[in-house]
Structure formats: C-alpha cells, structure tokens
Amino acid sequence: MAWTAVAGFDEQFMRKLEYLALVSKRFSGQFKAERRARKLGSGLEFADFRGYVPGDDFRHLDWKTYLRLGRLLLRLYEEEEDLPIYLFVDCSQSMSYGDPSKLEYAKHVAAALCYIGLANLDRVRVIAYADGIRNEMAPQRGRNQIFRVFQFLSEIDPGGQTHGREAFKMFCTGSRRRGLAVVISDFFEPNGFEYGLNLLRYYRHDVFLVQVAAHEDLHPDLRGQVEMVDSETMRTRDLTVTQTLIEAYRREMERFSEDIRRHSVKYQLGYVRTVTDFPFEDLILQVFRQGRFLK
Amino acid sequence: MTFLNLSPLAAALLAAATAAAVLALFFLKLRHRRIVVGSSLLWERVLRDGPAHSLIERLRRLLSLLLALAIALLIALSLGRPWLAASEGGPRPLVIVLDTSETMRALTSSGRTRWEAAVEVAEGVLAASVSPAGVMAADTSGLVRTPLTDDHAEVRGAIARMRPFPGDGRFPEIPVADARVYFITDGVRPTPGVPDGAARVSVFEAADNVGVTAFEIADDPTSPSGYRAYVEVANYSPSAKRTDVVLAGVGGQRIVRTADLEPGGAWSETFDLEGFAGGGVQVRARADSDRFPADDEAFGYLPARGGLRVTLVTDDAGGHLRTLLELAPEVELNVTTPAAFEESATADVYVFDGTAPPAPPRRPSLLFGPPDAEWLPRILGRDTDIRISSWDDTHPLMRFVPVQDLGIDGAAVVDPEGRTVVASSGGTPLILIDEDTGPAEAVVVTFGLDESDFALHLGFPIFVENALRWFSGETLPENRRLGEIEFPEGAEGIRRLNGTPLEAVIRSGRPVVQVTDPDLLTATVDGHRYRLAANLTDPETSNINGTSLADAGAATAPPAGNELWIPMLLAATLLIALEWWTYHRRVTL
C-alpha cells in the first residue's frame, strides 16, 4: 500500500504503519475468537434463557419449553457486532511540552492504533480532550478511512487545562456503546486522574491507559534560581532548583507513574508508560503483547 | 575590639553601608530565569511536601545571604584595622614613653624609620591595653605630653606630634604611682632615669651607616690667610663599606676621596682649602645602603679673603707692621702719619702704631701702645715687670697666638672698666677690646711694638690677621651639635644656608632655634654677620647599631593584643572558597 504524506505524518511514519499493519494481521488472526461482543441480542448463536417479561419479543419465546414446563422462557442469542474503539487524545497545553512534544507523540500512537483498529473492521473514534471534549471524529471503519484519521489528528492543537473528568463525563452522558477506551495522556490533572477514569470504568468501558511522558518531564534541565511557569495555568512560582530538589522531583514522578500503574492493576485497566524518545512502533508492539488492546 | 583606622561611628557606618550593598546585590541576584514547564503539578507536590519547605532547606536558602554578608563585612571591617584588646591585671595607669633620640631616625629594612615603627608599636600598645585608670604619653625630652586620660585620641594626637630630636635625652618623671610603663626605644642612646619596672619595647633593627663624625675648618698656622678642614668618617655598619667623601665649596671647588672602611673603622684627612673661595663648605659621605642620612653630611664656613682696606697710621716708615700689612694678600694698605691722619670713608680698618686719634674713629681700630686719649682706657701708670700670665685663646683675636714667651719691656697700666681683657700680666691688662665706647670696636695693645719683641714673634702675623678678620666680621663659625641651638643676645634674622628663615624662641633673652639636620646658620648680631655650623658629628649617635637591647631579655614584647585584620581576611578567603564550593553543588544560591 502506498501512503501519501498528510500534515504531521511524514513518509517515514507511513512506512512504519505499513509494517505495523502486517504485524496487526498476525495478531488479529490470533485473537479473532475473543472479539465477540458481550451484548445479548439477535445473533445466531444461542447463549442463554431468561424469564419472559411483558414487552419482550414473542418471536424469541421457546414454545417447546413452555409446553414441557408450562413457563414462558425467552431464548437469548449472542449478538455479533464490531468493537467500538475510542481513542482519547489529551490535547491540553501540558501535552505541548517536550521535544518532540508529547502531543505529537500521542498523535503518532493514536494514528497507529487507529490503523490497526480500522484494519480489523472495528469502529474507531478519536476524541481530542482537555478541559472538555475539544473535538471528536465521527466513527470510522475500514482501512481506507485512515486518511480521515490523519486529517483529524493533524488538526488537533494543544490548549487548555487537563480536566479528564469533565471530558469523560461529556463523553459518557451521550449514548455510547461500550467499547475499548484508550486514553493517551500525561495524566497531569490537578484534580486527580482517577476521577475521569472511574467514569469510563463505571460506564463499563474497557479502559487502556497510555501514559506519555516527555524526556524533559523525567530529566528536567533546571538549575539555580528559576521562575517556573505552568503552561496550562500560567501560574508562576519562584524556586531554587537544587540537586536535592531535582532528585525529589524524580522520585515524585516515579511515584506518580506508580500511582497510575497501581490504579490500572487495581481496576484491571490496561496500562503502558512511554517516553517521547522511545520508538513508538516498539510501544505499539508492547501494547499488543499485553493483549488488552484486541479483546 | 577597637579600630585603629576608624572611629566606632565610622566603623558602624561602614558595616551598615556594606550590609546594605550586599543585600541589594543579593536581591538583584535573585531575579530568576523564567522557565515554562508543561505542568507544575509534580513540582508543587515536591515543594509542598519536599525538602524545599523543610527547616534545613530554608536555612540553606539563607546560607548564601549569610555567607555574602559575612564575607563583605569581614573585608570591610578589616580595613579599619581592628584590634582585640587584652586585659592586663588590675586598673593600673598606662604610661607610654617614646625614645626621641636622633638614632630613631634610622631607616629599617621596610623603608620606615625606627621612629615610625615606634609610633606604630605605641598605637598597638594603646589599642591592646584596657586601662580604666587612664593613659599617659611622654618622650625622652623629659616631658610628659598628656595628662592621665582615658581619651585615646588625645594620646594618639600627642604621639603624632612627637619627633626625634638631636641631643641627650632623659626619661621623664612619671607623675603617677604604680603605673605600667612601656618605654619604646632602639636602645642606642643612653637614657638616664628609666625606672626599674619599665618594660622596654625594642624597635631596634640593625642597619648600615657610614657617617661624618668630625668636620672642622680652622686657620692654617703655617699660612696667615690659609685654612684647613679636618674630616673624619666612620663606618658603623656590620659590613665593610666603600665610601666616597666629597668636600665641596660654594664656588664649585670639589675634593673627592674614596675610602674602604672596615666595620667599626674610621678614615680621616686634613684638607688644605687654599683653592676654596669663602663661603659655605660641605662634606658628604656616600656609601651604599646607608640607613641613617642625618650624619651623612656636615657644614662649615670659610671666611672670605681680600678686599679689606686698612689705613696704617705710623711714624715708622719701614717697620715690621707696615711690611706685614703690605704682604697680606687680602689687605689694601694705605699708610699715613699721625699728623696727616684724617678719617676716610674708604677705610675699613685703622691701625695705629704708637699713636691714637683724639676721638674714636667710625671704623674698627687696632692700636699698639697708644698714648692717653679720652675715648681710650685711662692710663693709670706704667708697669715694667711684664710677664703674660693669662690670655683667652678661645677669643677669635687670640686664636693660635702663642704669647707666653713674649718679651715686653714695659706697658701702660690702664683701667679696664667696660672693656674685655684678652691678655694680661697679673693685674695689668695687656690686650683689651673696647666694643662699647666708640662707634666701632677697638683693640688696644697697651705696649708699643718698639717696647717688645712682639713684632718679631711667631704669633704677631696671626694676631694681626685675627684682628683684621674679627674687624671684618669674617671669622670662623662656631660649631654646635644639632638640636636646640642658642644664639647670642640680640641675634636676629636667623636663616639656613638655603635662605629659609628659622623661627626662634627667646629663652633667657637669647634666641633659640631647633635644628634637626646639618646646616650652616647665619644671623645678624649688632650689625655683624654671625655664622654657626650645626652638625651631628657625634660618634655615639652615628653608631646606630650599638644597642643595649641586643641581649636576650633586655627587651620585652608589646602587650598581647591581637590585630584582627589578618585572621579576618583569612576567614573571608575561607568563606569565599566555601561559598564557591556550596554554590557549585547547589547548596547555596
């Protein structure tokens, strides 16, 4: 397949996606049996019985059982449907930090995951969020929709504060099918990243977290007297950066990442952490190997 | 702690200004770089919970300011030369006595004089001593310069006004009992009267010195109009010295000798001043590394020759007196008889041989065997038993004149009242000087030349020469030691050789001047020019290494006070190094 460069995605990236597409086929075949929807409905394969309640479709009543037992039971079938994949890309101002920026890295990761999802005929939807949903792409299906995804991703600009709870609340209050919710963010939320993720969990989405950290987040190149400016809030703070403080910051960063990982383990969420100087194709393979992306 | 260079107010102002400057610079330094980070979420957590808010971290933030303040204050206050005074014993008065002898002007290896070192030691003693009973300053002029006072500034002012001076010194009478006495000296000149309990603080330091220890110009007995100069130079250095001795006259005459002098050795020579014109004469000794300039030169005076117009009044056309005056190179002689004698405006001196004018002449006169005259000493009789028994050989008239073997047949017996007798035979005056009767001096010889062998005597030409010089005012000057020099009563217009006037104080009716450097002084006394050579020329003073404090235990150390500027600067250096070290490890700002 020949790729055409789209703004923000150069030819080299396209080649990497091609490679990933081949890899995804291999993984898709392996996990195809697991991709049935849990929803019971009008499929062909019998799943279970349940008692009739007024309003049920008469066509699914099991008359033979009624004749034998005298009770009205309804036959249930497993409904076969495609898997909705929601890719939440954090586009708050803090994601513009780093070189390359976390947002650029997140876009590449999102594009790669989108491509894999589209290739498996899943319904892929990309949502850009910050202090709310900033932009939302219509659901796409089929590999040839990848250019729309590219177009959408390339139009995402950083801005605003991170407020996942608000964004996920807006998302969940709409009539959404449950699906795989991949959140790509640095999770620097003043109010705590857990609240937003809990909403997704309450609405029974299968949540997968990709924590993106810039190299500068892990190894801040600060020394001496600085006036530190928060890029989201523009709040300033004078501080003296000493080696001790740098080490304390690194420990805090580790603790922060560990908190996200523990939260993921506790609620059986998928989690992967990456740094912007880590090759994103390796990251994608790591995601596949965890096995949560393609359930 | 006291400051030698600053008053307490000045020290406080300096400290305040320094602290203000450091604080201003510190807060200017704290203008931070502006750094944008993606999110300050984690930083806020670190700062809220982490070490930045701990007590140690807050102290660490202050450490930089404290270090800067400490460094600046240490450097600034060290400029004021702080001293830490040491308390000694009970409340005893403190007396500081400085040796003001001439040898204290000797230079030390640092380029300062012993005197300057002594002043510094005195200030150190003053600063290092806590004496609630008061302080007093004195010197070896024998004077106590301040009363007992607790005002150190007054004492410092008195010490600053002291100066070394030539001459013998003596220890002052200490007017307070049980005082701690510090005598700061080089121990060279003997100072009588030092109390037993006085602590001698030595400022002695061995130094090279070659000095003129004798210089005298005198008549040449072998030549009626000649002079000779005696020069002695001595080496008091610890090492041998090659010395150039230069004798120079005002007319550009110059004699140079080079002498190699061993330590303690001396060189002397008598110079014939035949080629020298009248006027000042200087001798100068030049040697390498000489540390005591006060004795390197000495001055004398050579009387001027020639130009004296003498009128001889005599009946003896071919006498010895006429011959002598005709041969004298500096005399323009005019001879006349008593009958033809008239006073002339062109005569400087009259010589009367066996005659005398009826009235005192307006010019000085020398009279041999004069007859009775109203203005002359009255003749009482005649004495034929004449044997000169006394004469004043210190008088310029009688210098180098041997008269003890004169043969005199007879002399007039005169009343010497109001006259100065410079030679006499028992009670009979033979040579008198009359300075008051007439308008000019008169020298009266009471016997005639034909009544004695004086005209044939060896001392006759010298006597006549002395008389003419004395009349002309051109006499050899007196030699005096440096220090306080007393001039004759009525002396005025006292000047140095270079023409600078000297301030004189009148003591017992006589002008007294202070002379600290070798010089040739002139003054006017009763219309006559009076000259005086002031020189050091003292072997005891030139021997600047002859200290009595060389023996161990002869001198004591000044009282223990600590000058703090060196440790303060060392501490500042250490703090700078510490600040550098901590800054580069981000411990300080």
For B49, nearest residue in chain A (alpha carbons) = A248
- For the CA atoms of B217, B222, B225, B227, the dihedral, rounded to the nearest 10 degrees, stands at -20
Q: Is B551 inside any structural domain?
A: no
Same domain, B322 and B450: yes
d(Cα A36, Cα B245) in Å, to the nearest integer?
128
Q: Mark which residues 52-111 of B lie under 8 Å from A by CB.
A: 52, 57, 60-61
Of B426, B457, B472, the residue that ends a domain is B472
Q: How many CB atoms lie within 10 A of CB A184?
A: 28
Of B256, B276, B303, the residue that ends a domain is B303
Of B472, B495, B514, the residue that ends a domain is B472
DSSP label at residue B253? -
* CATH code for the domain in which residue B517 is found: 2.60.40
Instruction: Please state whether the predicted TM-score (pTM) of the whole model is above 0.80.
Output: no
* pLDDT value for B534: 92
Q: Which of B218, B329, B328, B214 is nearest to B272 (CA)?
A: B218
Q: Is B260 inside any structural domain?
A: yes
- Strand ranges of the sheet holding B227-235, from the earlier edge strand across to the other edge: B210-219, B227-235, B266-272
Same domain, B186 and B277: no
Q: Is B555 inside any structural domain?
A: no
Is A109 within 8 Å of A95 (Cβ atoms)?
no
pLDDT digits (tens, 9 = 90+) for B182-214: 999 998 888 888 888 888 888 999 999 999 999
Please, what are the domains in chain A? 11-34+82-290 (3.40.50.410), 40-78 (no CATH)
Same domain, B440 and B334: yes
Q: Does residue B585 sit at the A interface (CB-CB below 8 Å)?
A: yes
Residue B144: pLDDT band (50, 70, 90) is confident
ipTM associated with this complex: 0.78
Q: Which residue stretches of chain A have pLDDT < 70?
A: 1-11, 14-44, 78-82, 175, 288-295
Of A229, A240, A249, the CB nearest to B35: A229
Q: How many domains does chain B have?
A: 5
Of B35, B42, B57, the CB nearest to A249: B42
* B294-318 per-residue burial string, b: 16 or more CB within 10 A, e: under 16: bbbbbbbbbbebeebebbbbbebee
d(Cα A197, Cα A269) in Å, to the nearest integer?
10
Same domain, B377 and B339: yes
pLDDT at B417 over 50: yes
Same domain, B315 and B438: yes
Same domain, B362 and B416: yes
Same domain, B62 and B124: no
Same domain, B397 and B522: no
Q: Is B494 inside any structural domain?
A: yes
Is A183 within 8 Å of A207 (Cβ atoms)?
yes
Is A90 within 8 Å of A183 (Cβ atoms)?
yes
Whose tokens are 């002309």? That residue is B472
A-B interface: how many C-beta pairs under 8 angstroms? Answer: 103
Same domain, B288 and B214: yes
Q: Which of B266, B114, B125 is nearest to B189 (CA)?
A: B114
* pLDDT value for A23: 55
pLDDT at B259 over 70: yes
Same domain, B277 and B329: no
- Strand ranges of the sheet holding B33-37, from the earlier edge strand across to the other edge: A236-241, A224-230, B33-37
Same domain, B429 and B520: no
pLDDT at B4 over 80: no
Distance from CA of A257 to the nearest CA of B (A): 11
Q: Is B589 inside any structural domain?
A: no
Subunit contact B37:A220, Cβ cutoff 8 A: yes
Of B42, B47, B51, the CB nearest to A256: B42
Whose tokens are 């409340």? That residue is B91
* CATH code for the domain in which residue B239 is found: 2.60.40.10
Same domain, B220 and B256: yes
Q: Does residue B37 sit at the A interface (CB-CB below 8 Å)?
A: yes
Helix (H) or strand (E) holding B159, with range, is helix B152-161
Subunit contact B37:A228, Cβ cutoff 8 A: yes
pLDDT digits (tens, 9 = 90+) for B77-91: 888 777 666 555 556
d(Cα B306, Cα B314) in Å, to the nearest integer?
23
Q: To the nearest whole number, what is the mean pLDDT of chain B?
A: 85
Token pair of A187 as six digits: 């999770």
Which residue range(s) make up the domain with B416?
A: 308-472
d(Cα B179, Cα B99) in Å, to the nearest integer?
18
pLDDT digits (tens, 9 = 90+) for B332-341: 899 999 999 9
